[in-house]
């Protein structure tokens, strides 16, 4: 992991357990990033899209490193396939040095050349506690200035607190993790806190929240910057379990994304951003750019499910997440996911999961079972790896 940091880094990052569900591409991830850097330097004729990550005091280090690897893998795949005109991803980390500095310094650059200037800037979540209200004013003003200079700002879960401090999301809907939603709404009453959507894209400002949101958002940004084909190939590499073959980044649901049908992937992403609620076949077809009958045929062929069954799976996965991670009432969960009443929600949930919502929360909720025991009892090796990496707070 040493190769990932420049010798000039004045504050070596603390060691963490790397996300084990990232499979090495013919070697270690650190080695892959080193190869990526060397190839980047040799391909100066291709414009790079710089993605900056803000390493503010208390930021979740595992998320910073995981996103760095994810973007590095996407770039390596693009370079390996010699995609003509494919934009490279240059990743930089920005940190206040000293911690109360009025500006941020670049402490890591995956492809150093010229002056780094992020076009997309990510504010990661904290590990456990919410961001300190006393986060240096320099961090907030620097983030605001980057947006003024043209950068797209992206917040993850509790990173929304720092974004909100800039004043740039006043009057806008903001996605965050449901665990910190109440505190965010209380501290910033001028914003509309929305825990029912995993990703909210306002164009130059993007917010995301939910379990494993950084992976979801990282892939979303790869697709936004580099296109759906590279996003699909990156998802295949990053998320696939060699035994299961598909990704479980929704609780208890493995959305097939390695089928290669770009139109269907667009429809899936559209459904994911809405947690499967309030969708229609017509709207999905529009998102995919297909006729309805064509979408039905291709969606079933690509995913093995009808659009209706797929949306139901996403809704149930979201319900499980809410039951596991917080105290949201069953009535609120039912309403947020589009069920007409609690009885309808409970009936569908029991049929899909084999347990009533209340019993499920008692067994798997935060106060009922530890993450380690949950992973073992759930029998999901990938879920266990995620918890071992310490990402449950994001």
- Give residue-wise pLDDT tens across range 187-239: 999 999 988 788 899 999 999 987 567 888 898 999 889 887 788 788 777 76
Q: What is the DSSP annotation of 303-371?
A: HSS-HHHHHHHHHHHHHHHHHHH----HHHHHHHTT-SSHHHHHHHHHHHHSS-HHHHHHHHSTTTS-H
Average pLDDT over residues 39-43: 47
Instruction: Name the residue ranges covered by the structural domains of the chain.
Output: 2-224, 249-369
- Strand bridging mode 88-95 / 105-109: antiparallel
Spatial distance between the Cα atoms of 179 and 322, rounded to a whole number of angstroms:
9
* Under 8 Å between Cβ of 56 and 127: no
Confidence at residue 31, expressed as pLDDT on a 0 to 100 scale: 52
Confidence at residue 58, expressed as pLDDT on a 0 to 100 scale: 83
* Under 8 Å between Cβ of 94 and 107: yes
Q: Is the pLDDT of residue 378 over 50?
A: no
Average pLDDT of every residue of the chain: 76
CATH assignment, 2-224: 3.40.50.880
Confidence at residue 344, expressed as pLDDT on a 0 to 100 scale: 92
Confidence at residue 345, expressed as pLDDT on a 0 to 100 scale: 93
* Under 8 Å between Cβ of 52 and 151: yes
Spatial distance between the Cα atoms of 10 and 333, rounded to a whole number of angstroms:
46
Distance of CA 317 to the CA centre of its chain: 16
Topology of the domain covering 249-369: Arc Repressor Mutant, subunit A (1.10.10)
HSE-CB for 227 with a 13 A CA cutoff: 14
Q: Is the pLDDT of residue 153 over 80?
A: yes
Q: Is the pLDDT of residue 166 over 90?
A: yes
**Which residues make beta-bridge pairs with 145?**
none
């Amino acid at each position: 992991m040493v190769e990932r940091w420049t010798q000039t880094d004045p504050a070596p990052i603390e060691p963490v357990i790397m996300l084990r569900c990232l499979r090495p591409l013919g070697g270690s991830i650190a080695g892959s990033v080193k190869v990526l850097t060397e190839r980047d330097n040799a391909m100066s004729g291709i414009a790079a899209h710089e993605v900056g990550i803000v390493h503010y005091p208390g930021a979740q280090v595992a998320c910073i490193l995981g996103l760095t690897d994810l973007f590095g893998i996407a770039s390596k795949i693009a370079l390996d396939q010699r995609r003509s005109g494919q934009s490279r991803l240059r990743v930089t980390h920005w940190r206040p040095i000293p911690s109360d500095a009025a500006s941020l310094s670049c402490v890591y650059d995956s492809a150093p050349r010229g002056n780094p200037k992020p076009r997309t800037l990510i504010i990661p979540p904290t590990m456990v506690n919410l961001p300190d209200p006393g986060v240096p004013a320099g961090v907030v003003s620097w983030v605001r200035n980057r947006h003024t200079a043209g950068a797209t700002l992206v917040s993850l879960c509790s990173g929304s607190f720092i974004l909100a401090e800039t004043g740039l999301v006043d009057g806008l809907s903001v996605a965050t993790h449901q665990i910190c939603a109440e505190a965010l709404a209380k501290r910033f009453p001028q914003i509309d806190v929305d825990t029912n959507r995993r990703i909210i894209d306002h164009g130059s400002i993007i917010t995301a929240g939910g379990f494993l949101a950084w992976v979801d958002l990282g892939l979303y940004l790869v697709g936004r910057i580099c296109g759906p084909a590279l996003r699909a190939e990156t998802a295949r590499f990053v998320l696939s379990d060699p035994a299961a073959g598909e990704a479980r980044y929704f609780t208890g649901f493995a959305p097939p994304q390695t089928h290669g049908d770009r139109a269907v992937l667009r429809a899936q992403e559209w459904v994911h951003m809405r947690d499967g609620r309030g969708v229609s076949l017509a709207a999905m077809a529009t998102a995919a750019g297909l006729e309805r009958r064509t979408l039905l045929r291709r969606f079933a062929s690509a995913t093995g499910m009808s659009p209706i069954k797929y949306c139901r799976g996403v809704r149930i996965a979201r319900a499980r997440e809410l039951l596991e991670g917080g105290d949201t009432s069953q009535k609120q969960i039912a309403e947020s996911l589009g069920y007409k009443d609690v009885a309808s929600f409970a009936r569908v949930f029991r049929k899909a999961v084999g347990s009533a919502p209340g019993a499920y929360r008692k067994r798997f909720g935060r106060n009922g079972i530890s993450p380690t025991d949950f992973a073992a009892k759930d029998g999901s090796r990938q879920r266990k790896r995620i918890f071992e990496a310490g990402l449950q707070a994001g």
